[in-house]
Structure 1
Amino acid sequence: MKSKARPATGRLLYAQSGGVTAVINATAAGVIQNARKHGIKVYAARNGILGALREDLIDTSKDTMAAIEALRHTPGGAFGSCRYKLKSIEANRAEYERLIDVLRAHDIRWFLYNGGNDSADTALKISQIGKTLGYDIRCIGVPKTVDNDLAVTDCCPGFGSVAKYTAVSTLEASLDVASMADTSTKVFILEVMGRHAGWIAAASGLAGEGPDQAPHIILFPERVFEEKAFIDKVKATVERVGWCTVVASEGIRNAEGQFLAEAGTRDSFGHAQLGGVAPVLAALVKEKLGFKYHWALPDYLQRSARHMASKSDAEQAYAVGKAAVDYALADMNAVMPVIVRTSDSPYRWKIESAPLEKIANREKKMPNNFLTKDGFGITAAARRYLSPLIQGEAPPPYGKDGLPKYVQLKNTAVKRKLPAFSA
């Protein structure tokens, strides 16, 4: 919501949350560069919201403009991230009082929280506590997630790059399998991220079109895994094509609702820690069909592959960071800059604000019309949506050693003013 404008005084605090993406630092660059243009000093919380609670802050003004610009092509989280969810103020008032104490001690008037669904919830909570605890603070959620599962926004910064990496990896590995299938591997299984939403798995479908082109089978968490249908499809594909590429989302479940790869542990958000669905599927293929197989689990490689970033994704990641500062300085609160698609071909988009209450704790799954009737592939509608998101290349600069030239910031600590706090 928007209220009466006020002078741009005070500092801005930026924090990164949850799993990082290949382009999250581009968002950080958008935040810092735009704030500097307005004469606003930016502090960053070291290791996400925990840094704010611990009063472990970083003064970004100690880094040069060139270093901040280099964030646009550097993967990882430049200031550190964490998985930590704030409870309600009723359940843990001490944490909120501590946050306000830290914000007040450092004259922080704007807080930008860069994350996904749970982080949008945290941002919404913080946006509401200022009035309750007597401190004037504006909070802006900034979108980021490889899973593309945030509500309202057309796509999530970070997804386009992991989608490109997945599609390219599927294509390249499938060419390898095809060349070896006569005397060696018949089935290749690629496991991708996606606990409840199959967007990344769907992106693999861009590698080919038609029943004989890889991936031949995509397994989505939006569909119940049926063992017989899967085995029959693998067998038929190998008999027809000579080999079969399977892309499986980590979050696929059986008819009883159990993850095929449940490891039995949970993270701080309460999410199940999945132990690898690819080897489970591979063992099934071996047991039922006897085919030789290989499987791969790219895991962190999916979200750290900045060398394979989508240009459109990198541009959108920077744009939401820049817009978040504009919204903060316009005295907006409890909003998020989201991406609005205005055209598929040519691909065009713009940034608009959306209320956090429509985003927090909501999850955008694959629409039914994006999945084929048998549940093993993507439709033309899905291709129209996904294809623009992987368009264009944004390679990092390379050094004489043949490696990308990534930046490591000074991350100069701000002097603490308060007693230690244990979160």
Structure 2
Amino acid sequence: MAVGKLLYAQSGGVTAVINTTAAAVIDTARKHGVKVYAARNGILGALREDLIDTSKESAAAIRALAWTPGGAFGSCRYKLKSIEENRAQYARLIDVLRAHDIRWFLYNGGNDSADTAHKISQVGKALGYEIACIGVPKTVDNDLAVTDCCPGFGSVAKYTALSVLEASLDVASMYESSTKVFILEVMGRHAGWIAAAAGLAGNGPDDAPHLILFPEITFDEDAFLARVKATVERVGYCVVVASEGLKNAEGRFLAEAGTRDAFGHAQLGGVAPALAALVKAKLGYKYHWALPDYLQRSARHAASKTDHDQAWAVGKAAVEYALAGENAVMPVIVRTSDAPYRWKIAPAPLAKIANHEKKLPPSFIRRDGYGITAAARRYLAPLIRGEAAPPYGADGLPKYVRLKNAAVAKKLPEYRVADR
């Protein structure tokens, strides 16, 4: 067996394929004779010395992990401060890594997680411990810099387009005497990637979604109501997809709940009912709205094969980079061709990814601000292709796995993580 162990951890909101990446990490490390520990609940588990021994899991369980949604080892929203602000926290982390002979650390997450991975890669030498740190891409929002797309997004995009397509057929059946307006709220705080993906549901000018409300476009109440009214009068009904990050002319979120998470992000949710109430009050149309929320990122039954394959590829590459001596990099997806769609994995410096946010290009938003362009369709369409459905049991439900998550014996004094 190679000297040292590898520690894997998950951060932020999970995706339909984050466990695919975890399975790839474990499978690849096993082939290289390296034992993998997982930190329970992300970086918090690493600080608390709450580690999981994945060698206790069977090969069959790891195979099943590849098609199981959620985050098998838990996740967290916790951002490390700089070493100048909290040197003791980094010292504790290094103590845990040293106590368990962990030589490689893989952190699977988004922008803030890339920042954490980058910080840890920098402080190892400063605190006298060699540790190779690799960031692994994951986010449903598709807002990671450098990478062409991000594992997790393709499946959310597919789920969103499917939901719009199916719901629109329902509305089309009922609009004569019932619902005239249907509003679907999707995730996307600052970048409208998921909202844009809804545009794949239709091709013609009268196909749903009729209106997409992007966070990049300031919400104009009068213009919105006029478009809804015109669409209902022309088509008979109107399907609207609204990003949770929609802002008014004052720059305020339409659906800000007044609370913030550990990263300082405003908690959002409630754009759809607000818009529905507006439509009812101003236009008098009967409406329905939906807020899929967690369903968007946990819908493994509707996962994209492209997304599944890319999630596996970044996990495999992350281990290979780490064992080859790479540090402070992330395996990213590089698109080499649109038609036919081709891609590869390449290393990118964490310094170019951490705390950078990839917005939806203006060229992807139609001139009127309510739909996607041909360029957006060329980019998005390959990401939702193919099916990666889990196997189903006799009960009609997917055969998902729950791991043993056997704890590693602790070697250090108990540690209390400071308030966020």
- TM-score calculated relative to the size of structure 2: 0.99
AA aligned opposite 1:355: P
> For 1:101, which of 67, 72, 95 is the aligned residue?
95
> For 2:69, which of 72, 75, 92 is the aligned residue?
75
Contact 1:320 / 1:338 at 8 angstroms: preserved in 2? yes
- What is the distance in 2 between the residues matched to 1:223 and 1:357? 29
AA aligned opposite 2:106: L
What corresponds to 1:195 in structure 2? 189
Do residues 180 (structure 1) and 174 (structure 2) align? yes
What corresponds to 1:283 in structure 2? 277
What corresponds to 1:235 in structure 2? 229
Do residues 356 (structure 1) and 350 (structure 2) align? yes
SS at 2:229 equivalent: helix
What corresponds to 1:421 in structure 2? 415
SS at 1:73 equivalent: coil
What corresponds to 1:84 in structure 2? 78
- What is the distance in 2 between the residues matched to 1:113 and 1:306? 22
Q: How does 1:58-73 map to 2 (within 5 A)?
A: 58-73=52-67
Do residues 326 (structure 1) and 320 (structure 2) align? yes
> 1:211: how far off?
2.0
AA aligned opposite 1:342: T
What corresponds to 1:168 in structure 2? 162
Q: How does 1:239-250 map to 2 (within 5 A)?
A: 239-250=233-244
What corresponds to 1:298 in structure 2? 292
Contact 1:8 / 1:329 at 8 angstroms: preserved in 2? no
- What is the distance in 2 between the residues matched to 1:285 and 1:27? 42
What corresponds to 1:55 in structure 2? 49
AA aligned opposite 1:254: N
- What is the distance in 1 between the residues matched to 2:324 and 2:399? 36
- What is the distance in 2 between the residues matched to 1:19 and 1:219? 23
> 1:275: how far off?
3.1
AA aligned opposite 1:30: A
Runs of 4+ in structure 1 over 6 Å off: none
SS at 2:103 equivalent: strand
AA aligned opposite 2:42: G
> 1:210: how far off?
2.4
AA aligned opposite 2:116: T
What corresponds to 2:146 in structure 1? 152
- What is the distance in 1 between the residues matched to 2:262 and 2:151? 23
Q: Deviations over 1:166-190 (max 9, x none)?
A: 0000000000001000000000000
- Alignment gaps of 5+ in structure 2: none
AA aligned opposite 1:331: G
- What is the distance in 2 between the residues matched to 1:226 and 1:151? 29
What corresponds to 1:4 in structure 2? none
- Alignment gaps of 5+ in structure 1: 1-6
> 1:345: how far off?
1.3
- What is the distance in 1 between the residues matched to 2:83 and 2:180? 55
Do residues 383 (structure 1) and 377 (structure 2) align? yes
Q: Deviations over 1:82-118 (max 9, x none)?
A: 0000010111111101100000000000000000000
AA aligned opposite 2:404: K
Do residues 38 (structure 1) and 24 (structure 2) align? no
What corresponds to 1:3 in structure 2? none
> For 2:305, which of 298, 311, 314 is the aligned residue?
311
AA aligned opposite 1:88: S
Q: How does 1:20-39 map to 2 (within 5 A)?
A: 20-39=14-33
Contact 1:118 / 1:361 at 8 angstroms: preserved in 2? yes
> 1:276: how far off?
1.1
Contact 1:14 / 1:42 at 8 angstroms: preserved in 2? yes
- What is the distance in 2 between the residues matched to 1:38 and 1:393? 30
Q: Deviations over 1:382-423 (max 9, x none)?
A: 000000000000110000000000001100000000001111
> For 1:130, which of 102, 124, 136 is the aligned residue?
124
SS at 2:166 equivalent: helix
What corresponds to 1:217 in structure 2? 211
- What is the distance in 2 between the residues matched to 1:142 and 1:392? 23
Of stretches 145-154 and 7-16 in structure 1, the one that deviates more from structure 2 is 7-16
What corresponds to 1:9 in structure 2? 3
- What is the distance in 1 between the residues matched to 2:338 and 2:382? 7
Q: Percent identity?
A: 81
**How many residue pairs align between the two structures?**
417
Provide the alpha-carbon RMSD of the alignment: 0.7
AA aligned opposite 1:400: A
> 1:8: how far off?
4.1
- What is the distance in 1 between the residues matched to 2:308 and 2:65? 11
- What is the distance in 1 between the residues matched to 2:204 and 2:80? 46
AA aligned opposite 1:281: L
- What is the distance in 2 between the residues matched to 1:82 and 1:58? 16
- What is the distance in 1 between the residues matched to 2:174 and 2:143? 37
- What is the distance in 2 between the residues matched to 1:275 and 1:303? 15
- What is the distance in 2 between the residues matched to 1:316 and 1:71? 15
> For 2:201, which of 196, 204, 207 is the aligned residue?
207
AA aligned opposite 2:363: N
- What is the distance in 2 between the residues matched to 1:215 and 1:304? 23
SS at 1:252 equivalent: coil
